[in-house]
Each structure stands twice: as C-alpha cells, then as structure tokens.
Structure 1
Amino acid sequence: MSDASPYDALLLLSFGGPEGPDDVMPFLENVTRGRGIPRERLEAVAEHYLHFGGKSPINDQNKELLAALRRELDARGLGGLPLLWGNRNWEPYVTDVLREAHEGGARRVLTVFTSAYSSYSSCRQYREDLGRTLQTLAEEGRRLDVDKVRHYFNHPAFTDVNAAAVADALGQLPEQARAGARVVFVTHSVPDAMNDVSGPPAAGGGAYVRQHLDVAGEVARRASERAGRTLEWDLAYCSRSGPPTQQWLEPDVNDHLRALHADGVPGVVVAPIGFVSDHMEVKFDLDTEAAETAEEIGLPFARAATVGAHAEFVAGLVDLVEERAAQARGEAPARPATGALGPSHTVCPVDCCRNLRADLPAATGEDYRSPAVAGA
C-alpha cells in the first residue's frame, strides 16, 4: 500500500513565468535581481516572451503536470495528500503557498523541483529560495520542515520517456535524412565556473555536464534499440545569457547545427533532455531559433518532445515521492537509476553546487539549520 508519511503535503516547486505583457519585465527583474544583468539584455530576453504574447508556457504546463500528479496520487490511494504548486520568481510565490499550507495544518512538506540536474541554478538556488521562505515563516512564528526528492535525471522513467521521444522524432524526418541523422541533445548553458562547482565538492565538481553526458548516452542507447540502429549523438547548449567575457558551456546549438551540416550530416533530431517541459527556452531557443537555423542551411530538423506530463514520467515522480517518504521513515527502499552514475544523494552534502556570489542558507542540505520559530 502506498504511503507518503511522514509528509503531510507535496509541493511542486518551479521557476515561474509571466502571464501577460505587463508581467514580462517585472518577472525578468525578479529572476536577475542582484546579478548585475544589463537592462539591454533584459529587454532582449523580454522580446522572446513578447514573441509569444508575453505569456510563458511554463505555467500552463505546470498545471497540466499537477493534474497528472493528482491523478497518479489518487490512483495509489494518496488522495488525502495535499498537492501544492509554488514558484521562485512569479505567482504563486512559494512563500505564500507554504504560509497557506502551514495555516492548513502542514508541518512537513516534500518538494519536487521541475529541474532534474545538479548545479547552482538548477538545484541550490531552489534550495536557497526555500531557505529564505522558511526563515520568513519562522519570523512569523510558523515552523515548517521541507525535504526534496533526489535528482531524477537518471531515473528510468525520465530516460525511458526521453528515449521514446527521440525515436518518435527520428520518424518525423524525411526518409532520406533518417539513416545518417544525428541526435543533438540540448540543455541550458551555464557559466563554466558554475559547472566547475556543481555537485558535491568531494566528487570534484563538473556534475552538471557529467550528468547530462551520462543521460544523453543512456537515452541514445535506448533510442537506438527502438530505431534498430546505433544513433550518433552530441551534447549542445542553448540560452546563454552572460557577458561575452564570461566563459559559458559550448557549443551553442545553432553553431553546432551549422558544423554538422558542413560535415555532411543529412538530418538532426534535437532533444531537449535538460528540460522537463516545453517552456520558453524550448519554444524560442529550439522551436524558433534553432529551427530557423536548420531551415536557413537546409538541414532536415525534428525536435523531440520533453517528458512534460507523460504518464510514465509522472508515475516515476510519484515513485520518488514514495521512495523519499520511506527513507524519512527509516526504511531502505530500492533506488533505481540508469546509466553509470547511480542514484543521486537524498540530502545535499555541505557546499553542494555552492553559490559563487554569496553564502546563503540552502534548505534540504546537510549544512542547513532550520530557523528558530519566533516566540518558541
């Protein structure tokens, strides 16, 4: 029988996104506050959102994922577990959501991030926002404990759904382009320095790239079995936003498409394995810019789907919820993982994916101390 105890609520924690044109600049200012990003860069990124009417697709996608999670929880007899949704950078803000949850009786909450990998921007920054939230609530006299599920980049559900998506996209290419088509796995670029400190310090850093390479190899292997031939693949990056003087992970996906075409590759499948859903970096950077680059150079192009709210992926997330709950009860559940890296840590080690700009409390880590409750 399914059991989520000792947790009395489940939180889906995401990035957030604007709901209309008037929200775009305030949202981007929230995202970049304290980072010294020039106004011109914000205005350039704002155009990406305005290209789609000023509304990010991420909010509707999260609502779809929430509905799918609710169905899966109910099907497993967990209908009484409250399911919450909070964002880091836009409404519904996570502080407001957890305050309301506390008022409703929640005292221990389990969190699922809409980000599968290790790095400052894809994990620790979420943990820092949770740390600030818990401090704010403690100052109001509200005590909450928050845990999270482990990184799920190599959970079988994530890799299997991605592999099926790659195989399906391969079938969308013109027949003459399929035999020698290359798979280009894509994720969000980050500064080299951020990758260097990603993951536990004892592992030597570099976890962000290492995890993506491991997943790409596993997804390619599984997609090759479906396709009936060995698929060649590369890892490329999108959405660079730093100054030209700062080193970011490369190659850029557009540059890489041009290089593949110059080498005579007859077609490409672009697979956004770094993303859980079709949010702005997928819709603009891949479906718009990369697709335009491919059309410009005459390179047949198909984009694989993200895992989104696929039933197998959603079931995998609930498996992770049950796994973490069992650990919290002192049990030793099975922890399936694909590839060579094994299952990720449950509690983040000290200085994992550390912040290069400031030393901020980050919840759900070994070095985090719950803030004292006012008046306690």
Structure 2
Amino acid sequence: MTSYDALLLLSFGGPEGPDDVIPFLENVTRGRGIPRERLEQVGEHYHLFGGVSPINQQCRDLKAAIEADFKAGGVDLPVYWGNRNWDPYLADTVRRMKDDGIRRAAAFVTSAYSCYSCCRQYLDDIDRARAEVPGAPEIDKLRIYYNHPGFVEPFVEAARAALDRLPAELRDEAHLAFSAHSVPLSQPGQERYNAELNDVSALVAERAAPGHRWALVYQSRSGPPSQPWLEPDIVDHLDTLPGQGVRAVVNVPIGFVSDHMEVKYDLDVEASNRAAELGLAFERAATPGHHPRFVSMVRELLLEREDAEETGDGGGERPALGALGPRPDRCPAGCCTRGNQ
C-alpha cells in the first residue's frame, strides 16, 4: 500500500507555437534583466522548428509511458503533469490535484542532477505553487537519479547506437564528447554538478566504448561574457579535435533527459554544423526520453521512497552506479540555496 496518492511529473515547459516563444522566454528569464533583443535572438532557435519546443510532447509521451508502467507494475496511482515555465503551469496542476482530493504526491523531476537550477529551483517552485493553493497536497520530490541504472543504461545503449552509425573505418577511433548545460561558477552546487557529470560520463564511456577517448564539455550558456561559466563549450572543444588527429565524434547529451531545444538546436544544428565545417564525422546519441528502462526507474524511485518511509531510517536499496553513491533520499534544508546567485 502506497503512502502517496499521486505522482507529479514536473518539467521545464516550452512553447507550442510561434506566439508562445517570447512569453515563454520572458517566464524563463524573469528577474534576470535579459534585454528584449537577446530574447528575440534566442527565439529564432525556436522559430527554426515552427516555434514549438519538443519538450511538452515528450512530457506527454513520458506521462503516458509512466501510466502504462504503473498499471503493469501494480502501482495504482494517477499521474499529473506540471511545468515551471509554460502550460500546464505547476500551480494550476497543484490546484487540480487538490480539487481531485489528492493529499500527498511524489514528484519526479525531469532533471537528473544536483545544483540550484537542476534541483533546488524545482523545490522552490513546488513551495511557491503550493503557497498559491489553499489546502494544497503535500509534495515530496524524489531523489537525484543521475547515476541510477535506469538513467545510465539508456545512455549506454544510445552511445553504442551512435557509434554504429559512424562509417565503419572511423568507429574504433571515435572521440566521445559528453555534453551538459553549462551553469555559472557562482551557482550553488555547481561543484557537485560537475562531479556528478564526470562520474556518469566515465560510467557510460566505460560501458559503451571502452578504450575510446572522451571528454566532458558544456553547452547552451546564456550569461554575459564577463561571468565565468563551466567550460569548455562544445563548439570550442570541437575546434581542438582535428589538430589532435580526431576524425569522428559521438556527442552524448549526458546532462539531458529528453531531446528538447538545447539538444535540437545547440547540438543538432550548431555543434553538428561546426563539426561538418571541421571535416569531422558527427553523430549525436539519443537521450532517455521514454525509454522503457528510464520509465521503470520512475516506479523504482517511488517504491524506494515508500520503502525508506516504512523502515523509518532511510533504509532499503538505493541503486547507484559509479564512485559517488546515491544522493540523499531528501535534500537537506538549505542545500544549493540561491543566496546571491
């Protein structure tokens, strides 16, 4: 018997038509003083794809897959979906949950890592949404899962598939570039974020392409040039490879759960085009999306939390690969708080 009566799928959100693009970007950047011209420049990335981010449809697909997995696994819970930055907005979803009689929900966030923007910001958003809804259900975020087998295994499979798409004569020498969204060096938790990314990249490289050279790189930075962010940028990294004798690259977007705009534009357009200019064969591995192993991980994380509550001491198995071990079942109070960020 579960102590939760719903699962909340919590994601970033994205525009679903040309008229949504600028309002969406205003939501994302609110309070950061980003000039309108910059928003319009970024908006052009979305307009290349009809003004539609893939992320909302990917959330619909993931929600449907979780519901099917729950049914097959004997978990009788409804699944709700809310976004931070676009419809369905989180506060609206929390209101619907309350009206449906939901009293306590577990939240699965489509962000696998630690740091302020990957984890704490979602906790803050949950608190803010609940504050808008009198009588809102209790909502507990499930733990960080970047090194859970259900996240690692789909990336191993995808990296192998990308290697297989390269010309046969280049596969054995291909370089792996693991990429993740850059964050400012001043962001709380960025050291842990960087360590987690290195840990899981090593795991995937060892399993998918033992003996191949690999590097962790970053992408999609949006701050002013004067503000230091995690580096190197993937395009800058690609520029260094021909001089090292590299002829083929497999890009593994290890920092991402699904193929949203930072993947579709920053990798499939910008990085891919730069690789072509440099004469590099380039293949991009798929993200987990709604891979069956990733979907089953959601149920496992939910049942793991249930087991921890039943034991009363955080006991029970918490699968985690790599050197860093599992993150705490619940983030400590004050972990990765924004402060002056």
- TM-score, normalised relative to structure 1: 0.88
Note the alpha carbon deviations across 1:195-223, whole angstroms, 9 max, x for none. xx20xxxxxx6101000000000111111
* Consecutive unaligned residues in structure 1, runs of 5 or more: 199-204, 359-376
Query: Higher mean Cα deviation, 16-25 or 345-354?
Result: 345-354
Q: Distance in 1 between matches of 2:310 and 2:163?
A: 44
Aligned position for 1:180: 173
User: Is 2:316 the counterpart of 1:319?
Assistant: no
Q: Distance in 1 between matches of 2:53 and 2:44?
A: 12
User: Is 2:111 the counterpart of 1:115?
Assistant: yes
Note the alpha carbon deviations across 1:283-318, whole angstroms, 9 max, x for none. 000001100001111100000010110001111121
User: Is 2:82 the counterpart of 1:82?
Assistant: no
User: Is 2:332 the counterpart of 1:339?
Assistant: no
Note the alpha carbon deviations across 1:83-103, whole angstroms, 9 max, x for none. 000000000011111111111
Q: Which amino acid in 2 is paired with 1:25?
A: I
Note the alpha carbon deviations across 1:167-220, whole angstroms, 9 max, x for none. 1101111122212111000000110111xx20xxxxxx6101000000000111
Counterpart among 235, 239, 262 of residue 258 in structure 1 = 239
Contact 1:18 1:90 in 2 (8 A): yes
Counterpart among 96, 107, 124 of residue 100 in structure 1 = 96
Aligned position for 1:354: 337
SS in 1 for 2:224: coil
Q: Which amino acid in 1 is paired with 2:39?
A: L
Structure 1 residues 356 and 38: CA distance shift in structure 2, 3 A: farther
Length, aligned pairs only: 339
Aligned position for 2:202: 217
Q: CA deviation at 1:350?
A: 2.5
Q: How does 1:1-376 map to 2 (within 5 A)?
A: 3=1, 5-78=2-75, 80-137=76-133, 140=134, 142-194=135-187, 197-198=188-189, 206-224=191-209, 229-330=210-311, 332-357=315-340
Q: CA deviation at 1:349?
A: 1.2
Contact 2:108 2:142 in 1 (8 A): yes
- TM-score, normalised relative to structure 2: 0.97
Note the alpha carbon deviations across 1:35-75, whole angstroms, 9 max, x for none. 11122221111011111000100011111111110111000
Q: Which amino acid in 1 is paired with 2:230?
A: L
Q: CA deviation at 1:325?
A: 1.8
Q: CA deviation at 1:261?
A: 1.8
Query: Higher mean Cα deviation, 104-113 or 168-177?
Result: 168-177
Contact 2:97 2:137 in 1 (8 A): no
Q: CA deviation at 1:19?
A: 0.7
Q: CA deviation at 1:356?
A: 3.3
Note the alpha carbon deviations across 1:356-376, whole angstroms, 9 max, x for none. 347xxxxxxxxxxxxxxxxxx
Q: Distance in 2 between matches of 1:35 and 1:129?
A: 17
Q: Which amino acid in 1 is paired with 2:74?
A: G
Contact 1:178 1:266 in 2 (8 A): no
User: Percent identity of the aligned residues?
Assistant: 52
Q: Distance in 1 between matches of 2:211 and 2:130?
A: 49
- Structure with higher RCO (Cα < 8 A, 6+ apart): 1
Contact 1:6 1:329 in 2 (8 A): no
Q: CA deviation at 1:353?
A: 1.3
Q: CA deviation at 1:77?
A: 1.1
* Consecutive unaligned residues in structure 2, runs of 5 or more: none
Q: Which amino acid in 2 is paired with 1:341?
A: L
SS in 2 for 1:193: coil
Aligned position for 1:369: none
Q: Distance in 2 between matches of 1:261 and 1:112?
A: 41
SS in 2 for 1:206: helix
